[in-house]
Chains A and B, each alone.
Chain A
Amino acid sequence: MKFVQLMAAAVLFASTGAAGAAPSAQAILAESDAIRNPGKPFALTVSLVEYRNAKQAGSNTLRVYSKADTESGQFRSLIRFVAPARDANKLMLKNGNDLWFFDPSSKASIRLSPQQRLLGQAANGDVVTVNLAKDYRAQLVAEENVADGDRQTRRSYKLALAAVSAEVTYHHIEMWLDAGNSRPIKSRFFTESGQLLKTAYYRRYQAQLGVERPTETVIIDGLDPNWVTVMRFDEYAWRDVPDLWLQRDYLPRFKPE
């Protein structure tokens, strides 16, 4: 990951230093990816609290085991449901568009379509563990002040991200990155028709696995702004995630701790 950051910083330095022009949008996007996502296989715990009309409507705890694919750069993840009790120890495997759900009680491995997953809470993981620089072409559209997740005004680069493949979840994204350090501040995710799907604020920066990372993401639904999901990340750890784990047949065997 340090290598990625160094590369991104080098590109940033080269582009700004050489011509005094705006930094390479793609480079600062890559740098922001490296702030959100550890560069080696890792595990973390995600707590989700969901609000509807300002009232808590549900909560989940998930343990995520993830690694980036060496070819596509995208994350392949095993997600273990920890809470609530009804869902404890159920599993979800995400390996590109190969999505499986496993229930240890019925031993059923059920294949999911991307649409099925998109509608569940696990899809919010896409807002977090996704390498945007791999799937989107970034363009710097403005350098402007923006209110961050703590309502502080920050100088930011506003990027417009356009999908380079039809397989990605979001057609285009608006993203604001801190002009000083490329930290993600806020994103808005859109459909092809321009419909806002969700807005995400990245906040509570803390040192995790050697980098200051956002440990909370606040997600506001685009269609219903009264639907708010607060995702908190803790128990970060470097964790080997063998390729052996990332297949349907391993789901009944998965018992990592």
Chain B
Amino acid sequence: MRSPVLVLLLVLATAPARAADADADAAALSLADQTTSTAEQSGDWRVYLETAAREARRQGAGLALHGARLSLDARFDKTFAPGWRAVFADRLDMNRMDGASGNREINTLKEAYVSWQARPDRIADLGRINVRNGVAFGYNPTDYFRAGALRSVVSLDPASLRENRLGSGMLRGQTLWEGGSLTALYSPKLADQPSDNAYSADFGASNPRARWLLAYSDKLSAGLSPQWLLSGGAGQSPQLGLNVTALPNDATVAYFEWSGGRSASLAAQALMRPDDAAFRSRLSSGLTYTTTGNVSLSAEYEYNGAALDDAGWNALRRGSPLAYGVYRGFAGNLQDPATRHSVFLHASWQDALIKQLDLTAMVRYTVADHSRLQWLEARYHWSRVDVALQTQLNTGPPGSTYGAASERRSWQALLRYYF
């Protein structure tokens, strides 16, 4: 039996804490009594207007360059008859820059398609669709429809690059079962050349050649359902792809993305060199770890077996500026790294220090030339308004992946309003 003195001491020690708990509970319940909110409804449209101002400094000395942008982004998604769904997504960017007269407008018709769900497990789609595969964050080798898809780059944030791009015109069918699915699509050639016209649907960029894709996924166990892909088209050998994720522990997601097949090197394709077709792999693999403080950290290794190796890259940097520019442009259009090995680091902190403030940081590092891109964003949001400040710093020797960027540092402030 406990000593009465000990019991008394325990009571005395815990009584203030219990009283404080009771006070906190009473205050919380009083707040709940005053809460009047009711459930909101969401519409078929999601529309926002974004305005941004930016300042950039070139590599070396020089005056700051200023620019401004106004963007209108709309997405519509509606079931218009039982089993029928229409999706439309479009974005208009109006840019104004120092040294250029007037505005430069670029419209990106991201998606416009119709879906027919004939049965709960059978679906067909027709139109322009943003098909995006891949589980990695910084580089997606299995995102086979990324080539030529970027029409207007407003941010280097990978999430923005995935969202603000052209879908491809296609016919797609999917059958699903419990724990898996099979998708087949055909995307025909619809035009020859990309268009500079501001309001062009630009099928020359999204559909310059016929392509096809098969995607199969099935559940192997409770937490493991890999996705296999097979992609091909005019002028290329079939490429096999794999996406897989796993949970090493409660706080970590591991991901692995790979694509491989016979293909010519980027240099041979870009610089019209002799065909050097061989089996080449592209890979992106990493971990995302979430701390108890709500910070998610991702570290990713990226490999592009079709890009120049270190020696080839350094030789190209020291050689013809024209060949260098053509190669960089070719790789950039494919959204492929220009060198073999890269590292991508990403950190996001939700409700950082204060509620509704999100901080995001990103570093891209090229192993061959030790150049880096560093990007940082602070974003505060209210229910309909976002305010963000972004900064980007490119560092590295001349001609390196990021040292060659015309801008060394840039700042961008933006305001977004959701209707």
Name A residues whose Cβ lies closer than 8 Å to a Cβ of B: 45-47, 49-52, 54, 57-59, 61, 82-86, 88-89, 96-98, 103-109, 111-116, 119-120, 147, 149-151, 199, 201, 203, 216, 218, 220, 225-226, 228, 230, 232, 234-235, 242-244, 247-250, 253, 255, 257
Residues of B contacting A46 with CB < 8 Å?
39
Which residue in A88, A230, A242, A247 is a CB contact (below 8 Å) of B120? Answer: A242
CB–CB B253/A249 < 8 A: no
The reply on B288 being an interface residue by CB < 8 A is yes
Known contacts A52-B355, A244-B121: does B89 contact A113 (CB below 8 Å)?
A: no
CB–CB B39/A45 < 8 A: yes
CB–CB B38/A47 < 8 A: yes
The closest CB in chain A to the CB of B73 belongs to A105
The reply on B225 being an interface residue by CB < 8 A is yes
Residues of A contacting B176 with CB < 8 Å?
244, 247, 249-250, 253
CB–CB A86/B29 < 8 A: no
- Most central of B28, B75, B381, B386 by chain A CB within 10 Å: B28
Residues of A contacting B20 with CB < 8 Å?
225
CB–CB B42/A244 < 8 A: no
Residues of B contacting A96 with CB < 8 Å?
222-223
How distant is the Cα of A103 from the Cα of B40 in the complex, in angstroms?
A: 19
CB–CB A61/B40 < 8 A: yes
Within 8 A of A (CB), among B29-47: 29, 31-32, 35, 37-43, 46
The closest CB in chain B to the CB of A188 belongs to B21
Chain B interface residue count, Cβ-Cβ cutoff 8 angstroms: 73
The reply on B181 being an interface residue by CB < 8 A is yes
Interface bits B338-374 vs A (CB < 8 Å: 1, else 0): 0000000000001000011000000000000000000
CB–CB A114/B250 < 8 A: yes
CB distance from B152 to the nearest CB of A (A): 15
CB–CB A82/B131 < 8 A: no
CB–CB B120/A244 < 8 A: yes
Residues of B contacting A115 with CB < 8 Å?
250-251, 290, 292
CB distance from A71 to the nearest CB of B (A): 11
CB–CB B32/A85 < 8 A: no
CB–CB B288/A228 < 8 A: no
CB–CB A108/B162 < 8 A: yes
Residues of A contacting B35 with CB < 8 Å?
49, 230, 232
CB distance from B5 to the nearest CB of A (A): 23
Q: In terms of DSSP, what is the predominant structure of the interface of chain B?
A: mixed
Residues of B contacting A234 with CB < 8 Å?
38-39
The reply on B101 being an interface residue by CB < 8 A is no
15 A-B pairs with C-beta separation under 8 A = A58-B383, A82-B41, A83-B41, A86-B48, A86-B386, A88-B46, A107-B130, A107-B131, A112-B253, A115-B251, A116-B251, A201-B25, A218-B28, A225-B20, A248-B225
Residues of B contacting A52 with CB < 8 Å?
355
CB distance from B286 to the nearest CB of A (A): 12
Residues of A contacting B75 with CB < 8 Å?
104-105
Known contacts A106-B162, A113-B288, A119-B294: does B179 contact A86 (CB below 8 Å)?
A: no
CB–CB A54/B31 < 8 A: yes
How distant is the Cα of A140 from the Cα of B120 in the complex, in angstroms?
A: 46
The reply on B252 being an interface residue by CB < 8 A is yes
Within 8 A of A (CB), among B1-54: 20-22, 24-29, 31-32, 35, 37-43, 46, 48
Interface bits B115-135 vs A (CB < 8 Å: 1, else 0): 101001101000000111001
CB distance from B398 to the nearest CB of A (A): 34
How distant is the Cα of A82 from the Cα of B159 in the complex, in angstroms?
A: 21
Which residue in A82, A116, A232, A235 is a CB contact (below 8 Å) of B37? Answer: A232
Which residue in A83, A107, A149, A249 is a CB contact (below 8 Å) of B132? Answer: A107
- Most central of B25, B159, B251, B418 by chain A CB within 10 Å: B25
How distant is the Cα of A86 from the Cα of B75 in the complex, in angstroms?
A: 12
The closest CB in chain A to the CB of B23 belongs to A225
Known contacts A96-B222, A106-B163: does B29 contact A149 (CB below 8 Å)?
A: yes
How distant is the Cα of A249 from the Cα of B294 in the complex, in angstroms?
A: 27
How distant is the Cα of A1 from the Cα of B384 in the complex, in angstroms?
A: 41
Residues of A contacting B255 with CB < 8 Å?
111
The closest CB in chain B to the CB of A107 belongs to B132
Known contacts A54-B31, A85-B419, A89-B46: does B39 contact A255 (CB below 8 Å)?
A: no
Residues of B contacting A255 with CB < 8 Å?
77, 79, 85
In the A-B complex, list the 9 residue pairs whose CB atoms are closest, starting with the nearest: A225-B24, A85-B418, A83-B40, A115-B251, A249-B181, A106-B163, A106-B162, A88-B42, A228-B28
How distant is the Cα of A249 from the Cα of B130 in the complex, in angstroms?
A: 15
